[in-house]
Amino acid sequence: MMHRLRLSKSRYISGDQCHLRLWYDSYARDLAAAPDDSLQAVFDTGHEVGEIACRRYPGGHAVAHDYRHTREAIDETRQVIDAGAAPALFEPAFVHERVLVRVDILQRLLGGGWRLVEVKSTTRLKETFVLDLAVQLWVLRGAGLDVREAEVLTLNRDYLYDGVRLDLNALFRRHPLIDRAGALHDLVGAKVQEMHAMLAGHAAPDIAPGDHCFTPYACPYYAHCTRDYVNPEHGIDELPWLTAKRRAQLESAGVEEIRDIPADFPLTRLQRIVRKAVRENRALVHGDPAGILAELTPPVRYLDFETFAPAIPRFAGTRPYDSIPFLFSVHTEHDGSTSTHTDYLHEHDDDPRPRLAERLVEALGSEGPICTYSGYEGQVIRALAVAVPDQSEALASAEARLFDLLPVVRNSVYHPEFHGSFSIKSVLPVLVPGMGYGDLAIPDGQTASVQYAGALASTDVEQRQRTFDDLRAYCERDTLAMVRLRQALGEL
Ligand code: SF4
């Protein structure tokens, strides 16, 4: 195979993680797992944030030729730079030693030279972003461009949207990194040579999967690379809160299965319970769930929210990635044997919170405990109380009635089929046989928020209604699951 392929920034990052990943990216991309809806939503968010960041540079020139027309994109970039008029370029293309990069933003500096800008949709600076910049800097300088500054733009988690106009200066946080990126110059050059040499070989490099498959990014070839692996029935990763140190100790002793962990190996109380349950292959009740739950007197309510978290704030008083509730479900148990259900789904793209808060206060009534599964509902209610001052008093008193079922499960019962997880999706089918989420079109909260955004943007009325029905069914299942779970725990 004659190696004529170019590297790109993303392939360089792949190669820096694992040469085999780079080899697959270059010669066998079809082995990669397709991005699921959640990952696709992350990509879409990245594009949205990138486009908004470009508005910070009015008069900038967007290079029109896409990745299929690289030569034209490079020529266009050169022409715009030489013309000397555009204050910034978006997606300009450069190549150096067969490494092609498309830069998010290149800004002309008033005193001469250029500023390289990489836009990220996260709110925190990560170490790997320095490498992103370093590769681009290496290419741009190699291509003869006078780059004097380099920075990463992230979203600013402290920015509070006023609901009228996005303040593009406050929305983004600048991280100047020219020194750190420049310091990697020789290293990048050396690694580029290694990657070209590896790709020129005929065979895929022989690299076994390991921790590097998830750092800094989850590798899309993991399923392929581990296709022949036989996973342990109850591997040590099922131990709750296993520290990296203890994991390494077990691995170096050749222990893969929980049941093989020696009796004198230091474990926490819960980890010892898990080991015992696995060895005896049965549920262990190690607390008094019935006694704890007997304190809940009717009416007992069960509450669950679905939320979405827009990167770019859309409603007054919100910050990047604030969770916005758009759906709730409440089951109410009146006498321990019958329950009624109510919910609210906001079906428009304006701020859901005022109407949702009003309906929530009605649904929760003024007395009786409100069961949740995790502390998330409490966080949502506290944020709602701030966002909707009219309802803050009623919401504060609802918050005081919350009762979290998750610690009751975690501190009372373990079954090997939990596989180390106490999420409701893991414990429900075990404690309430026959009940799960497998029959639903929407199986988890992440999918719910992606589907909700899609439905709001859709003009297909039937499809939209179908998605709304699916969302309601999913959220209702979450609260019905809690009703059944409480009953099952009470009988343990
Ligand atoms: S799964 Fe791991 S070993 Fe396989 S290509 Fe990816 S990073 Fe490399």
Q: What is the pLDDT of residues 258-283, one digit of tens each?
A: 999 999 999 999 999 999 999 999 99
Whether 5 shows a pLDDT value over 90: the answer reads: no
Which pLDDT band, with edges at 50, 70 and 90, does 67 fall under?
confident
Q: What is the position in ligand 1's atom list of the atom closest to the CA of 220?
A: 6
Q: What is the mean pLDDT of residues 351-369?
A: 97
Tell me, using a 6 A CB cutoff, whether residue 13 lines ligand 1.
no
Domain count, the chain: 3
Q: Average pLDDT for residues 478-483, to the nearest whole number? A: 96
- Give the pLDDT confidence score for residue 35 in this predicted structure: 86
318 and 248 in one domain?
Answer: no
Which of 2-11, 35-44, 288-297, 376-385 is modeled with the greatest confidence?
376-385
| Cβ of 222 below 6 Å from ligand 1 | yes
Answer whether 18 contacts ligand 1 (Cβ < 6 A).
Answer: yes
Q: pLDDT at residue 57 above 80?
A: yes
Over residues 314-321, the mean pLDDT reads: 96
Give the integer Cα–Cα distance in Å for 360 and 344: 8
Residue 352 and residue 492 in one domain: yes
> Average pLDDT for residues 227-232, to the nearest whole number?
89
Name which residue sits closest to atom 4 of ligand 1, judged by CA: 225
Q: Token pair 């999913």 is at which residue?
A: 474
Question: Within a 10 A sphere around the Cβ of 23, how many other Cβ atoms?
Answer: 21
Q: Would you say the CB of residue 80 lies under 6 angstroms from ligand 1? A: no
Q: What is the CATH number of the domain that holds 17?
A: 3.90.320
Which of 260, 282, 304 is the last residue in one of the domains? 282
Q: Quick check: 296 pLDDT over 80?
A: yes
4 pLDDT higher than 90: no
Coil, strand or helix at 300: strand
Cα dihedral across residues 411, 417, 421, 424: positive or negative: negative
Residue reference for tokens 């019962």: 413
- Please name the helix (run of DSSP H) or strand (run of DSSP E) that holds residue 329, with its range, or none: strand 324-333
Indicate whether 413 pLDDT > 70: yes
Per the domain annotation, does 205 fall within a domain?
no
**Contact status, residue 485 vs residue 477, Cβ threshold 8 Å:** no
Residue 3 confidence (pLDDT) above 60? no
Task: Show the CA angle centred on residue 312, arms to residues 86 and 423, nearest 5°.
Answer: 140
Q: Is 99 helix (H, G, I), strand (E, B) or coil?
A: strand
Q: Has residue 103 got a pLDDT over 90?
A: yes
d(CA 400, CA 377): 12
Q: Please report which confidence band the pLDDT of residue 2 belongs to, taking 50, 70 and 90 as the band edges.
A: very low
314 touches 387 (CB < 8 A): no
Q: 170 with 246, same domain?
A: no
Residue 335 has pLDDT above 90, yes or no: no
pLDDT at 478 over 60: yes
Q: What is the pLDDT of residue 1?
A: 42
Q: Which atom of ligand 1 approaches the CA of 24 most closely?
A: 5
pLDDT at 81: 97
* For residue 326, pLDDT beyond 90: yes
373 and 315 housed in the same domain: yes
Residues 252 and 163 in one domain: no
Residues 92 and 240 both lie in one domain: no
Tell me the whole-structure pTM to 2 decimals: 0.88
Q: What mean pLDDT, rounded, does the chain reach?
A: 94
pLDDT tier at 40 (50, 70, 90 boundaries)? confident
Q: How far is the CA of 5 from the centre of ligand 1 (A)?
A: 20
Q: Are 360 and 347 in contact (CB under 8 A)?
A: no
> How many angstroms separate the CA atoms of 279 and 258, rounded?
8
CATH number, domain containing residue 377: 3.30.420.10
Q: Can you give the residue range of the structural domain that contains 57? A: 7-200
Rg (CA), the chain: 27
What Å distances lie between residue 408 and 134, 146, 364, 413, 481, CA to CA? Answer: 49, 62, 22, 8, 15
**Cβ of 204 less than 6 Å from ligand 1:** no
Q: Which of 67, 176, 186 is nearest to 117 (CA)?
A: 176
Across the range 204-218, mean pLDDT stands at 94
